[in-house]
Structure 1
Amino acid sequence: MARPLRFPAPLRPGDRIAVTAPSAGVTGASAARIDFCLDWLRGRGYDVVVGECLYGDGLTSAPAEQRAAELTRMLADPDIHCVVPPWGGETAIDMVDLLDWDVLAEAEPTWLVGYSDLSTLLLPVTTRLGWATLHGDNLADTPYVVPDGLLHWLDLAGGPGPFVQRDSGLVATWVRFEQDAQATEWSHVGQGRWEVEGGGRLDVTGRLVGGCAETVANLAGTPYGDVRAWAEDLDEPTIVYVEACEEHAVNICRYLHSLRLAGWFDRAAAVLVGRTNAPDHADLTQREAVLDALGRLDVPVVWDLEIGHVPPHLPLVNGALARVVVDGDTREITQTLA
């Protein structure tokens, strides 16, 4: 049975932030970027500590047992208020069942922040422990200036809300580490706009839950991704968000069908879909993939939110009570951490 929702204490300057790599480690030219980001957080008054599982040039930063032990220790340490990774990676799933869930269940909630492969960990921390988690920038993106309409993940971690964010209209990309390891301005590449599938208006409220489709779909049907049970225990509507990293449309279609069959959308008041650069299939676009899986549900779909692998990033708190409004010129999401 899912535990009641608990929200970590507000993150304040002076609090300790721990950095570890539960998935891919730091190596080569990326080290200069991470060093800059660590200094950036310290320059804003945070006490930043670095774990042993940060650097490494393999698929992961360290063996699964070591990564799991370090993340457990950091999340259970009362002196650590937030844990953030350098970025995602590929196989964080190898440590999900190695975390000491009994130890964490006795600990006070700690902010766990990130996206991409970190969705693999954010999801069970929320659904199994009842801790709110923060789907936002990884450390490597944290120094980027937030565009008008959006908030920094540090803002959401810093208080109860309500936090209002609006469609930024911006489509951007990263500055390569080799080009500028200290970049803080996104490279603008276009414009985007939230829209409801089929047109019309939307005004819904529910508890946020979701993540990267390529990673969370592998948890569906396991004790680490039972969103159906979590939502049933809460007995509230949900707002499910999904985004695609790089898989072509056929695989995204499969992943979303898997989530549907696992009951992820049974209590959904809406589904939010992040904009993506993932490729289409010759016979199936990314949008068609979503509609193939979810179109049979009586659930509205909102397209092109800034919630994934196309920056900038709109941070979402798993477990937050959210209201989403798309009506004329109003395109906004309000989150309350209660």
Structure 2
Amino acid sequence: MPVRFPAKLVPGDLIAITAPSSGVPAHLHPRLDLAIANLKARGYRVYEGRCLREQYKNQSASPLLRAEELTFCLTEPEIKAVMPPWGGDLAIELLELLDFQMFAQAAPKWFTGFSDLSTLHFPLSTLSGWATVHGPNLMDLAARAPDATTEAIWRVLEGERGERLEQQSSAAFQPGENQWGPASDAAFNLTEKTRWTHLDGVTASACFQGRLIGGCLDIIARLAGTPFGNLPHFAQRNNEEGIILYFENVEMGPCELTRALFSLRLQGWFTHLNGILIGRSAGPNNDDASKHQYIDALRAALGDLTIPVIYDVDIGHIPPQMTLVNGASAVVTFTAEGGCLTQQL
């Protein structure tokens, strides 16, 4: 199944906002309203779903209601993009309620975001053949003055099909997950110097290419071995080009991270790869060097691979993050000065 790319967004297009995982509680409605206002300022019309502005037991609504609304948003011809406010915890409840074969017959549209939304990105790309956008969530796009890395999502969504888009590594990152608080239009607080690093600690430069696929490791490691997370099959279909796998860790400590990575390794996920990109980790680490640490987890599971493995990349819960298109052909260039990602839409 070839990867199909949605049409570029143009002013007047209708964007749907629904929360297939966690909803937005009342105290953050001002932030959501600013994000919606920014969409309208770019010339877009907005459809606001029912599963959005409530949050109970980590859900915006029941699994059935969330699945029904997401199905409508993904199949309604007038809707050109689906931009959830953010991820959450329980999108996995929807998988058995969604018809990915039906989506494979429908015209693709942009589905954006990260975190728990990887639960949906992965099968939409591997089963339905849609190119999907792993990048800033809608709530990240409410800032009055967004950083250049976050703002690059619009270069993807509004880019011409066939265009090659280049993104450079960020200059600085925020040393923690975002907590919006009362400053509804705040941007990220980027204070720490970004530095991509090769896992072997020696390689000063690398260049590799392949088709992008990945997401939040906490999520995709649980999809592995199911019909919704069959990376080896996707890799076989793209054997000539090869795969660039990317992921990031949000909650797993070093030992749990090691188990997750070895589970993928034992299921053949690291075969047919041309390279791996690992985002900055938001998970807990051990300060005691005599105990298993984050870097030990990466080295244990990935250290003997004969492909480039780059970590602390601009991906995931420690902002800002690049916009990666699942299914896009990409070229990654890594040097001591930084990194560059070029994608073919």
Equivalent residue in structure 1 for 2:280, among 261, 271, 275: 275
Specify the alignment match of 1:78 in structure 2: 77
> Separation in 1 of the partners of 2:284 and 2:80?
38
> Separation in 2 of the partners of 1:54 and 1:148?
28
Specify the alignment match of 1:157 in structure 2: 157
Alpha-carbon contact 1:250-1:284 (below 8 Å) kept:
yes
Specify the alignment match of 2:43 in structure 1: 45
Q: Cα–Cα, structure 1 residues 263 and 288, in superposed 2: closer, same or farther, change >3 Å?
A: same
Which range is displaced more, 56-65 or 144-153? 144-153
SS in structure 2 opposite 1:273?
A: strand
1:209-248 equivalent positions in 2, closer than 5 A = 209-235=213-239, 236-248=241-253
Specify the alignment match of 2:207 in structure 1: 203
Specify the alignment match of 1:24 in structure 2: 22
Specify the alignment match of 1:108 in structure 2: 107
Specify the alignment match of 1:256 in structure 2: 261
Q: Cα–Cα, structure 1 residues 304 and 174, in superposed 2: closer, same or farther, change >3 Å?
A: closer
> Separation in 1 of the partners of 2:283 and 2:317?
9
Specify the alignment match of 1:298 in structure 2: 306
> Separation in 2 of the partners of 1:22 and 1:224?
16
> What one-letter code is carried by the residue in structure 2 that aligns with 1:182?
D
Specify the alignment match of 2:320 in structure 1: 312
Alpha-carbon contact 2:149-2:322 (below 8 Å) kept:
no
Which range is displaced more, 218-227 or 30-39? 30-39
SS in structure 2 opposite 1:239?
A: strand
The reply on whether 1:180 has 2:183 as its aligned counterpart is: yes
SS in structure 1 opposite 2:125?
A: helix
> What one-letter code is carried by the residue in structure 1 that aligns with 2:324?
L
Alpha-carbon contact 2:276-2:310 (below 8 Å) kept:
yes
SS in structure 2 opposite 1:142?
A: helix
- Stretches of structure 1 that go unaligned for 5 or more consecutive residues are none
Q: Cα–Cα, structure 1 residues 87 and 330, in superposed 2: closer, same or farther, change >3 Å?
A: closer
Specify the alignment match of 2:337 in structure 1: 329
Q: Cα–Cα, structure 1 residues 239 and 151, in superposed 2: closer, same or farther, change >3 Å?
A: farther
SS in structure 1 opposite 2:191?
A: strand
Q: Kindly state the Cα deviation for residue 175 of structure 1 after the two structures are TM-superposed.
A: 6.3
> What one-letter code is carried by the residue in structure 2 that aligns with 1:35?
D
> Separation in 1 of the partners of 2:74 and 2:227?
20
Alpha-carbon contact 2:55-2:61 (below 8 Å) kept:
no
Q: Cα–Cα, structure 1 residues 39 and 65, in superposed 2: closer, same or farther, change >3 Å?
A: same
Which range is displaced more, 275-284 or 83-92? 275-284
> Separation in 2 of the partners of 1:222 and 1:80?
30
> Separation in 1 of the partners of 2:250 and 2:167?
23
Q: Tell me the TM-score normalized by structure 1.
A: 0.94
Cα deviations across residues 225-270 of structure 1 (Å, max 9, x unaligned)?
1011011012221110010112211111111112222222211111
Q: Kindly state the Cα deviation for residue 328 of structure 1 after the two structures are TM-superposed.
A: 4.3
Alpha-carbon contact 1:29-1:177 (below 8 Å) kept:
no
> Separation in 2 of the partners of 1:174 and 1:232?
35
Q: Cα–Cα, structure 1 residues 23 and 330, in superposed 2: closer, same or farther, change >3 Å?
A: closer
- Stretches of structure 2 that go unaligned for 5 or more consecutive residues are none
> What one-letter code is carried by the residue in structure 2 that aligns with 1:36?
L
Q: Kindly state the Cα deviation for residue 151 of structure 1 after the two structures are TM-superposed.
A: 5.0
Q: How many residues align?
A: 334
Specify the alignment match of 1:91 in structure 2: 90
Alpha-carbon contact 2:314-2:320 (below 8 Å) kept:
yes
- What is the percentage of aligned positions where both structures have the same residue? 40
Q: Cα–Cα, structure 1 residues 325 and 226, in superposed 2: closer, same or farther, change >3 Å?
A: same
Specify the alignment match of 2:171 in structure 1: 169
Alpha-carbon contact 2:22-2:86 (below 8 Å) kept:
yes
> Separation in 2 of the partners of 1:122 and 1:330?
27
Q: Cα–Cα, structure 1 residues 146 and 291, in superposed 2: closer, same or farther, change >3 Å?
A: farther
Equivalent residue in structure 2 for 1:284, among 276, 292, 295: 292
Alpha-carbon contact 2:254-2:284 (below 8 Å) kept:
yes
> Separation in 2 of the partners of 1:317 and 1:149?
15
Which range is displaced more, 122-131 or 138-147? 138-147
> Separation in 2 of the partners of 1:240 and 1:178?
34
Cα deviations across residues 247-294 of structure 1 (Å, max 9, x unaligned)?
211111111112222222211111101012321145222222122111
Alpha-carbon contact 1:147-1:168 (below 8 Å) kept:
no
> Separation in 2 of the partners of 1:178 and 1:55?
17
SS in structure 1 opposite 2:223?
A: coil
Q: Kindly state the Cα deviation for residue 150 of structure 1 after the two structures are TM-superposed.
A: 6.5
> Separation in 1 of the partners of 2:151 and 2:242?
25
